[in-house]
Amino acid sequence: MKIIFLGPPGVGKGTQAERICERFELAHISTGDILRANIKNGTELGKAAKSYIDKGELVPDSVIIDLVRDRLTEPDAVKGCLLDGFPRTVAQAEALEEFCDIDAVINMDASVELLIERITGRRVCRNCGATFHISRLAPDAACDKCGGELYQRNDDKLETIENRLKVYTAQTSPLIEYYTAKGLLKSVDGEKHIDTVTEEICAILEQL
């Protein structure tokens, strides 16, 4: 099974991807996570990507398309994968069609107010990358998976979030129409409880 998670920043793509990949044994391919790992390791890709990410802009299509094309040739991805955060432009979607057949696109949405509340409250483990929300964390809490320190992503500051939401509307939201026209789009209400969203996605995927 090869699927895409589509939706604005903070809607819950990463949170749901972790659960769905475990349940359906899919490789979780998050372009945001790959870019952040490259920034952490100081690679050339990381250095190039950092300035775009910190401003809430998209990394150029050519860079991202090559990265995903390579990742999809790895054995775990060939068996089945979930693309989280890719494609993000029509050009990326058109390129993807040349090297991967997609079974479904799960589109999640939520109000702008809720997205901002979720992103500003997000904390990420510096060690394992697990995601949390301050509303469900004790003060000074560490990661409950590995004990790592929790931090706020650079691009989760309010001024950057506003640009990320604008970029989503201008460059990524046209993919909703793109995949609707191809009969691949399935919509899920991202405002519901985390467990409810997971169950709704599972119900869709079990029918594929």
Single out the residue of 107, 8, 127, 93 nearest to residue 56, CA to CA. Answer: 8
| Cα 67 from chain centroid (whole Å) | 15
Could you please report the per-residue DSSP string of 89-106? SHHHHHHHHHH---SEEE
Which residue of the set 50, 122, 123, 186 is catalytic? Answer: 122
Single out the residue of 73, 87, 50, 78 nearest to residue 173, CA to CA. Answer: 87
x/- mask, ligand AP5, residues 38-67, rule CB under 6 A, reads --------------xx--xxxx----x---
Residue from the set 4, 14, 50, 104 that interacts with ligand AP5 by CB under 6 A: 14
Calpha distance 112→179 (Å, rounded): 22
x/- mask, ligand AP5, residues 63-92, rule CB under 6 A, reads -x--------------------xx-x---x
Q: Toward ligand AP5, which CB reaches closer, 166 or 182? A: 166
Subset of 109-168 contacting ligand AP5 (CB under 6 A): 118-119, 121-122, 131-133, 155, 164
Residues ≥6 apart with Cβ < 8 Å to 34: 67, 71
Q: What angle do CA 125, 130, 136 make, to 5 degrees?
A: 90
Is 71 one of the annotated active-site residues of the chain? no
Footprint on this chain of ligand AP5 (rule: CB under 6 A):
7, 9-15, 31-32, 35, 52-53, 56-59, 64, 85-86, 88, 92, 118-119, 121-122, 131-133, 155, 164, 193-194, 197
Catalytic residues: 13, 88, 122, 153, 164
